[in-house]
Chains A and B, each alone.
Chain A
Amino acid sequence: MSDVSLTVNGKRVSGSVEDRTLLVHFLREHLGLTGTHVGCDTSQCGACVVHVDGRAVKSCSMLAAQASGSTIVTIEGLANGAELHPVQAAFKEHHGLQCGFCTPGMIMAATDMIARHPQGLDEATVRAELDGNICRCTGYHNIVKAILSASQTMSKGAKGRAKQAA
Chain B
Amino acid sequence: MYSVNYHRAASVADAAKLLKNGDAKLLSGGMTLIPAMKTRLAAPSDLVDVSRLKELQGVKVSGKTVTIGAATTHYDVSADEKLKKACPALAHMASLIGDPAVRYKGTIGGSIANNDPAADYPAALLALGATIITNKREIAADKFFKGLFETALKEGEIVTAVSFTAPAKAAYEKFRNPASRYAIVGVFVAKGKDGVRAAVTGAGEDGVFRSKEVEAALAKSFDASALNGLKVPAKGLMSDIHASADYRANLIAVMAKRAAAAANA
Contacts and interface: CB of A to CB of B under 8 A. Distances in A.
A131 B34 contact: no
Contacts of B99: 46, 131-133
Contact of A132 (B3, B27, B100): B100
Interface in A99-132: 109, 112-113, 129, 131-132
B3 A20 contact: yes
Interface in B14-71: 27, 30-31, 34-35, 37-39, 47, 49, 51
Interface stretch (B101-109, B113-121, B207-215): B101-109
B6 interface: yes
Interface stretch (A28-36, A57-65, A85-93, A143-151): A57-65
A49 B30 CA distance: 15
Contact of A61 (B2, B3, B34, B100): B34
A55 B1 contact: no
B192 interface: no
Contacts of A98: none
Contact of B181 (A55, A113, A131): A131
B29 to A, nearest CB: 9
Interface string A63-88: 10110100000000000000000000
B6 A66 contact: yes
Interface in A32-64: 41-43, 46, 49, 55-58, 61-63
Given A109-B100, A129-B100, A19 B3 contact: yes
A84 to B, nearest CB: 23
Given A61-B34, A62-B30, A62-B34, A43 B102 contact: yes
A111 to B, nearest CB: 12
B3 A56 contact: no
Contacts of A109: 100-101
A46 B100 CA distance: 10
Interface in B170-222: 181
Main secondary structure of the interface of A (DSSP, over half): mixed
Given A57-B104, A61-B35, A61-B105, A132 B1 contact: no
A66 B101 CA distance: 16
A153 interface: no
Contacts of B105: 57-58, 61-62
B165 to A, nearest CB: 30
B211 to A, nearest CB: 28
A63 B27 CA distance: 11
B120 to A, nearest CB: 14
A15 to B, nearest CB: 14
B71 to A, nearest CB: 13
A55 B106 CA distance: 13
A2 interface: yes
Contacts of B75: 55
Nearest to B51: A66
A22 B105 CA distance: 15
Contacts of B181: 131
B66 to A, nearest CB: 23
B152 interface: no
Contacts of A133: 99
13 contacts: A19-B3, A20-B2, A22-B34, A43-B35, A43-B102, A49-B101, A57-B105, A61-B31, A66-B6, A113-B100, A132-B101, A132-B102, A133-B99
Interface of A: 2, 18-20, 22, 41-43, 46, 49, 55-58, 61-63, 65-66, 68, 109, 112-113, 129, 131-133
Given A46-B101, A131-B181, 18 more contacts: A19-B5, A20-B2, A42-B38, A43-B31, A49-B101, A55-B75, A55-B104, A56-B104, A57-B101, A57-B104, A61-B34, A61-B105, A63-B34, A65-B49, A66-B49, A68-B8, A109-B100, A132-B101
